[in-house]
Structure 1
């Protein structure tokens, strides 16, 4: 099976459950492993796929905890780095409907250093770029750009999820758009929320947004719509794929479970490059990925809630 390299942040989520989606009123927090690219790597591994995580945590107990979690989930952490900077933290408050409020305290994730020896490991495999903190400067953004070039030159299937967080990009939306579009241009697959698709395209509907983002360069676009499913778009075909009904308690990691499940399925193909022209197969894969995302919302915490292959097939 093709290996999937997931690049970006690994951090601690301090989660306030059932205390409203306003952090100012939350009093009690639970420590959980988080970070979108790390969640994706775990989603892939939990389904039986092969995933590597490339990112940086601190040389502190939190960093040790995070790497142990990934290792226990069978994610290859041999390419992860550790820094003297403190492990990055995120504080998350979750309302009864599963919606969230985020505040970040950045640390070691931005210290990732580019490792030129990794580029030969990419050859013919898949690389997923999860960008929640990766475009905010520092060593991580520099390494990110190098790894994109390596993925292009090593004939990789490239996936991109901008993971837009309002708290991180206040008054800097134009910079976020410009930096994200450089990755959209080179990606075979892009996963967006509806908010992200409209923001990056400057359009007012999901249909118009996808047309614009295909013009930028994305071959396959998925726009997750929560309980309404996922809008799937190629330059030739478009369709909304329904999700399954669930009672959500925490939407954290649902999008990561979705893209992880989709990448896992693509990795099993003999020729991932042909997927854009096989729309029926793509839609079937998205239907399975929708199920993975929905199941993840039924428990608190992203990684612990990720479904196994047996759960998806049940």
Structure 2
């Protein structure tokens, strides 16, 4: 088994996106889609550990097979559904409803000979347990956690509500933490950014990234906290932008690049994703790096 630059762990999703009360169309989603493809476009060797049901569309499988990802860790479970979300956008807010959930990632889904420079743990419906996270840490140089699925609770109708989540045993083995601001609040329990970031660093998290949508992102390293701009572009659809950001970030980080530069690459990669619907636009490496350089020239230490 090769040493992968990046392994993305979590569920693929079948997304139905609704805007202004009308379904737009279905799309392939989930971190193994957006994070993996953004990293692959930058030249990273990427694998996934995920599960889907036998309802997974053949056209999506063909798309993934042509993408250059290593899909040896993708398991199709007969008789089970693929994780399925309805995402409704209204007045700048997003409402999520879980319609179906694939089986969780199990210990035997992690290959015993897995070797990775970075592992991105990014559950979307609580499908990755602490045991799995600890096991993945042993197989990687860097463990990156996106807690988006850990801060979600589900009402009987599947509607998503955010809940508090804080697990020192997981955070203490996390090298890179990335979350949206709302998710960050539910992990840390405070809106005060410096206080929360300091708390994560004290636990041993080396890099903290907080994404802020159109306001860009913040990255905290040993060198301080830096504001990373968002690249101004024509926004068609924002789903997957955060996943693309961290996938691109990690693709550059495992090359030994400066974290602030990597964050600019992440922001640039996200700017391509939002220019089209679904996982259809990621930008070529030279295009992403050109936008990243523009952003890097505007970075501010805060």
TM-score for both structures, normalised by structure 2? 0.83
Match of 2:83?
88
Q: Confirm whether residue 40 of structure 1 aligns to residue 35 of structure 2.
A: yes
Distance 1:155 1:79, change over 3 A: closer
Q: Deviations over 1:63-85 (max 9, x none)?
A: 54443332222111111111121
Q: Deviations over 1:195-254 (max 9, x none)?
A: 122221112222222111212331101111122221111245111122221232211111
- Which is strand-richer, 1 or 2? 2
Kept in 2, the 8 Å contact 1:125–1:156? The answer is yes
Q: Which aligned pairs between 1:190-209 and structure 2 lie closer than 5 A? A: 190-209=177-196
Give the Cα–Cα distance (whole angstroms) in 2 for the partners of residues 212 and 206 of structure 1: 10
Give the Cα–Cα distance (whole angstroms) in 1 for the partners of residues 13 and 147 of structure 2: 17
Q: Confirm whether residue 307 of structure 1 aligns to residue 283 of structure 2.
A: yes
Distance 1:94 1:308, change over 3 A: farther
Q: Confirm whether residue 237 of structure 1 aligns to residue 237 of structure 2.
A: no
Unmatched runs of 5 consecutive residues or more in structure 1: 270-274, 276-280
Q: Give 1:149 shift.
A: 2.3
- Which is helix-richer, 1 or 2? 1
Kept in 2, the 8 Å contact 1:40–1:257? The answer is yes
Q: Give 1:178 shift.
A: 3.2
Give the Cα–Cα distance (whole angstroms) in 2 for the partners of residues 31 and 293 of structure 1: 20
Match of 1:49?
44
Q: Confirm whether residue 173 of structure 1 aligns to residue 163 of structure 2.
A: yes
More divergent stretch after superposition (243-252 vs 304-313): 304-313
Unmatched runs of 5 consecutive residues or more in structure 2: 291-302
Give the Cα–Cα distance (whole angstroms) in 1 for the partners of residues 225 and 9 of structure 2: 29
Q: Confirm whether residue 298 of structure 1 aligns to residue 275 of structure 2.
A: yes
Other structure's SS at 2:95 match: strand
- Number of residues of Structure 1 aligned to a counterpart in Structure 2: 282
TM-score for both structures, normalised by structure 1? 0.80
Q: Deviations over 1:87-108 (max 9, x none)?
A: 22111234586x5332111232
Match of 2:144?
159
Q: Which aligned pairs between 1:100-119 and structure 2 lie closer than 5 A? A: 100-108=94-102, 110-115=103-108, 118-119=111-112
Root-mean-square deviation (Å): 2.5
Kept in 2, the 8 Å contact 1:15–1:92? The answer is yes
Kept in 2, the 8 Å contact 1:244–1:290? The answer is yes
Kept in 2, the 8 Å contact 1:197–1:210? The answer is no
Other structure's SS at 1:178 match: coil
Give the Cα–Cα distance (whole angstroms) in 1 for the partners of residues 91 and 280 of structure 2: 19
Give the Cα–Cα distance (whole angstroms) in 2 for the partners of residues 300 and 172 of structure 1: 26
Give the Cα–Cα distance (whole angstroms) in 1 for the partners of residues 235 and 276 of structure 2: 8
Q: Give 1:182 shift.
A: 3.8
Q: Give 1:172 shift.
A: 7.2
Q: Deviations over 1:275-294 (max 9, x none)?
A: 7xxxxx22122112111112
Kept in 1, the 8 Å contact 2:153–2:161? The answer is no
Give the Cα–Cα distance (whole angstroms) in 1 for the partners of residues 171 and 65 of structure 2: 30
Kept in 2, the 8 Å contact 1:7–1:55? The answer is yes
Match of 1:72?
66
Kept in 2, the 8 Å contact 1:57–1:63? The answer is no
Match of 1:186?
173
Distance 1:188 1:15, change over 3 A: same
Distance 1:167 1:268, change over 3 A: same
Match of 1:221?
208
Give the Cα–Cα distance (whole angstroms) in 2 for the partners of residues 186 and 66 of structure 1: 34
